[in-house]
Structure 1
């Protein structure tokens, strides 16, 4: 689909997304760069490996960067690819030491597929079969946005095994033809997404919609969401009724009542896991990428998002959100108030450890 300066497609269905990715891989001429949090040792992982191996045999440059915690494969899985000259890197292998809970927790959560300086995929989907039935959101862009995204890929690749690096350089904002690329690395001070999202929500005039699989926002973002609701902005949070991380579902409950009392509408997606990560402001500005609206993503993970105002993309994201809402049920405040005291105790105990989930 063409819209202004952007030729794009949105994918909510993982099967359609994977088929599109594999077709683009098949047509690659120069390079294929893949960055992903999870890479499955399963039918999808094998399908992608075979497609990439075929292209390597044709002389196409292949580079894969996957997170060592999220991936369920090893170098041996890619042995033929490696023999053909492909570069396979596992981001930050787990090291057991006194700082395990802090350093090992800092994962590469980004999801990018870049091909030939022409095709870019950015969004929520990993390369794995377990999410076949999930509702995702990934955008495919045709154009030279691939060039600045390629720069971010190489910067991530350059620190795959480093404990220390220039965080300011690696989180510097990138603007390109009406788009803005926001990046985060683990940092207590920088947190570019949190700062950007806080400012966007503060400036919202009519509507804020956030769709996220895991909703445990830091206090500063809960504050601006509540303030927006109080000043008459329509604020909607869409999150799965039951995600794939049950502890997150428990912890988020602690914050929902207060937000509801400040006119924030909370919707639970019912059919299956909702894994899309998108924000829409005033039906004019969007953010789509890898970032979950939770403490862990804002503070501890390497994340990336694409922000823009392209009307065609906004329209399609709105359609995606409206389709999600058709399968949602509203948060029930009265039911929430009557939740068991045992649940309240667990919420209180585990909230200080929210960065672990």
Structure 2
């Protein structure tokens, strides 16, 4: 056996041992206590990045980082330096970056050189001529876990576009949460299994009043869609939905329309302009149906709205990496939290009110004159949505 093979075998054995050790306390993946494991909401990239860097600096045993976009810019460089320092003090560091999301020549050419050799590093689904379709399946999660005691989950990528220090008022608006204790441990277990490629054995985890939902296998993908649709179907008063890319499947559209017709107040927030003009055009092709059903659609004006949030009846919320689009619901690997923490919910509702104040509502009478422009794009988008 070669030296590299021995190293990989030792790493795999060490991770599997940790999984078995921690699974004793999470055998049923359920904790009935009412502890608030979701501890903080982040709506500013700089505050989140500072907290994540501080957590990395304080890590003692293990760090797992998964993210869709990691650029070697002002923000990315800080993370490289922090994880290198952690590996120098013998912390086990595992990093998985998505090849499509981080597909820039500078990132590809520099990151392997910039990370210490002791940092365990993988590109997720790099392009391969032997299996080109694999490139379309992307790891869209944004997760950082530390020592099984602290975790960060949400929609923020690691790049300068979300930093006020770097781009000022044009920074992207997003949401992330920090977690602690048994919830952080449950999230780390999923990251460990993902690193080992044990996708089939991954299951959702329930800790207190929080549900950790991922979709790295077929059963989990079905459950993720089921949870989202059940929340819509069970809503009694209100639904607030925030997504940067609105290209859902037909069943989800019909579920939203049915909820609106039974009297649920539905507020949909999207950016006026996202970073994909074609997706913006396709999304607007759905507006007439939604508006006629009584769904209120708001366009966030000042900057890119990248948050992925759903709040139902003001009592429970989903936050994470999944957009309300076909790719997140059927193709990509995602991780979301479904929680009922009253303090975090109130902070989230306050942020939503701020978003509402900076948005323009679309009026159905005005929109009818523009509908015809987008109909051809809807037809094209429905055909191409698995690739958008």
1:41, CA displacement in angstroms?
A: 1.9
Match of 1:184 in 2: 215
- 2:119 maps to 1:86: yes
Aligned 8 A contact 1:39 1:70 in 2 = yes
1:335, CA displacement in angstroms?
A: 3.0
Match of 1:329 in 2: 360
Match of 1:122 in 2: 153
1:311, CA displacement in angstroms?
A: 1.2
Aligned 8 A contact 1:185 1:191 in 2 = no
Q: Distance in 2 between matches of 1:15 and 1:94?
A: 32
Aligned 8 A contact 1:186 1:300 in 2 = no
1:279, CA displacement in angstroms?
A: 0.7
Matched position secondary structure for 1:307: strand
1:247, CA displacement in angstroms?
A: 1.1
Matched position secondary structure for 2:211: strand
1:131, CA displacement in angstroms?
A: 3.0
1:302, CA displacement in angstroms?
A: 0.2
1:105, CA displacement in angstroms?
A: 0.7
1:346, CA displacement in angstroms?
A: 3.1
Question: 1:58-69, aligned counterparts within 5 Å?
Answer: 58-69=89-100
**Correspondence for 1:40 among 55, 65, 71:** 71
Aligned 8 A contact 1:186 1:299 in 2 = no
> Alpha carbon RMSD of aligned pairs, Å?
2.0
Q: Deviations over 1:120-156 (max 9, x none)?
A: 1000001111333000100012322111111110122
Name the CA shift for 1:58/1:166 in 2 (closer, same or farther; >3 Å): closer
1:188, CA displacement in angstroms?
A: 9.8
Q: Distance in 2 between matches of 1:31 and 1:332?
A: 51
- 2:77 maps to 1:77: no
TM-score w.r.t. the length of structure 2 is: 0.84
Aligned 8 A contact 2:320 2:335 in 1 = yes
Match of 2:278 in 1: 247
**Correspondence for 1:95 among 112, 128, 141:** 128
Q: Distance in 2 between matches of 1:143 and 1:75?
A: 37
Q: Deviations over 1:189-234 (max 9, x none)?
A: 9432211111111011111111111111111111111111111111
Q: Distance in 2 between matches of 1:55 and 1:156?
A: 21
Match of 1:345 in 2: 376
Q: Deviations over 1:269-320 (max 9, x none)?
A: 1110001111111111111110000011101100010111121121111112
1:50, CA displacement in angstroms?
A: 0.8
Question: 1:1-357, aligned counterparts within 5 Å?
Answer: 4-6=35-37, 8-71=39-102, 72=104, 73-74=107-108, 76-79=110-113, 81-83=115-117, 85-97=118-130, 100=132, 102-132=133-163, 133-159=171-197, 167=200, 169-170=201-202, 172-185=203-216, 187=218, 190-339=221-370, 341-357=372-388
Q: Distance in 2 between matches of 1:9 and 1:166?
A: 29
1:7, CA displacement in angstroms?
A: 5.6
Name the CA shift for 1:62/1:320 in 2 (closer, same or farther; >3 Å): same
Which residues of structure 2 form unaligned runs of 5+?
Answer: 1-33, 164-170
Match of 1:162 in 2: none
Q: Distance in 2 between matches of 1:80 and 1:176?
A: 37
Matched position secondary structure for 1:66: strand
Q: Distance in 2 between matches of 1:151 and 1:353?
A: 34
Q: Distance in 1 between matches of 2:286 and 2:377?
A: 13
Q: Deviations over 1:227-246 (max 9, x none)?
A: 11111111111111111111
Name the CA shift for 1:11/1:333 in 2 (closer, same or farther; >3 Å): same
1:35, CA displacement in angstroms?
A: 0.6
Matched position secondary structure for 1:104: helix
Name the CA shift for 1:190/1:146 in 2 (closer, same or farther; >3 Å): closer
Between the two proteins, the alignment pairs up a number of residues equal to 345
Which residues of structure 1 form unaligned runs of 5+?
Answer: 160-164
Q: Name whichever structure is richer in helix by fraction.
A: 2
